Amino acid sequence: MIKETIWTHDDFFISTDKSLLELEVIYRFLHHDSYWAKGIDRNLVEEAIRNSILCYGVYEGTLEQRKLVGFARVVSDLVRFSWLGDVFILPEYRGRGLSKWLMSIIIEHPQLKGTSFNLSTEDAHALYQKYGFKPLTKIENRLARPLDWEAINEGLNINI
């Protein structure tokens, strides 16, 4: 079990408490604005969050009066492997150092710190390289099975 934690900085805080997440904000960004999950169904966003070992919400305000302005989730066995995904800061909050703050918190998490971290990005290589991410070596040794939305929906009994 991973302990829920809160970090504060100026008028913002980051929390790993999933009960604080504003699912509608996350869903809208992923469904409408992301290049990696455009068109994703809300039920699939909820399922992905539920099944992720850690989710990080970036909030403006206080615990009692908050607005979600960023998000990231981690899938991991907490021993050898971690996958970082669905990382975003809402456009109107970019340029304030929030993504750097978020990344520094994620990579320093004591149960993730030593794991082999993977991610995919089309446009944020420079950000992630600042935190130790490197292009894959021996790419010919890596394999991936393509995403199959139909099989995922069927397996989760979701009718779209």
Q: What is the pLDDT along the chain (160 residues), one digit of tens a residue?
A: 677 788 899 999 999 999 999 999 999 999 999 999 999 999 999 999 999 999 999 999 998 999 999 999 999 999 999 999 999 999 999 999 999 999 999 999 998 988 999 888 888 888 888 877 788 888 887 777 877 778 888 888 777 6
What backbone torsions phi and psi does residue 139 show, to the nearest 5 degrees?
A: -55, -25
Report pTM: 0.89
pLDDT at 1: 63
What is 70-85 written as a DSSP string?
A: EEEEEEE-SSSEEEEE
Determine the residue type at 111. Answer: Q
The sign of the dihedral angle between the CA atoms of 65, 73, 98, 94 is negative
Tokens (6 digits) for 124: 């944020």
pLDDT at 151: 81
Q: Domains, the chain, ranges and CATH?
A: 6-155 (3.40.630.30)
Alpha carbons 53 and 142: distance in angstroms, whole number:
24
Alpha carbons 72 and 16: distance in angstroms, whole number:
10
